[in-house]
Amino acid sequence: DTEVTQTPKHLVMGMTNKKSLKCEQHMGHRAMYWYKQKAKKPPELMFVYSYEKLSINESVPSRFSPECPNSSLLNLHLHALQPEDSALYLCASSSYEGGPYGYTFGSGTRLTVV
């Protein structure tokens, strides 16, 4: 299995809702990442998990809460989001943090906050 699977593909949520994004990989990668991407822009790093521990938090607002229950699974819990949080959320994995072989990305969750 050489894929990163993200669910759901699309999500529309109100500003008072709580929702979660899910990411799963079975490549044995030990680093997993959340990126936020606005239209026609490069991805922006949000969080990095290395060996299931939070390694990097790029000063992301607390309304985004990551979770890594095991080495294959990464969640992003969303609560009280703002319309400007609407974006494509990409999950990625790599063999290890800073590994030289590049990332494997999922196909993303298109989030719309209304």
Partner 1 sequence: AQTVTQSQPEMSVQEAETVTLSCTYDTSESNYYLFWYKQPPSRQMILVIRQEAYKQQNATENRFSVNFQKAAKSFSLKISDSQLGDTAMYFCAFMATTSGTYKYIFGTGTRLKVLA
Query: Which positions touch partner 1 (CB under 8 A)?
Result: 40-43, 45, 88, 90, 92, 97-98, 100-108, 110
Of the candidates 41, 45, 31, 29, the one whose C-alpha atom is nearest the C-alpha of residue 90 is 45
Burial of 42 (0-12, 13-18, 19+ CB in 10 A): exposed
Minimum Å gap between C-beta 33 and partner 1 is 9
81 vs 91 by CB, closer to partner 1:
91
Minimum Å gap between C-beta 51 and partner 1 is 14
Residue with tokens 């939070």: 54
63 vs 105 by CB, closer to partner 1:
105
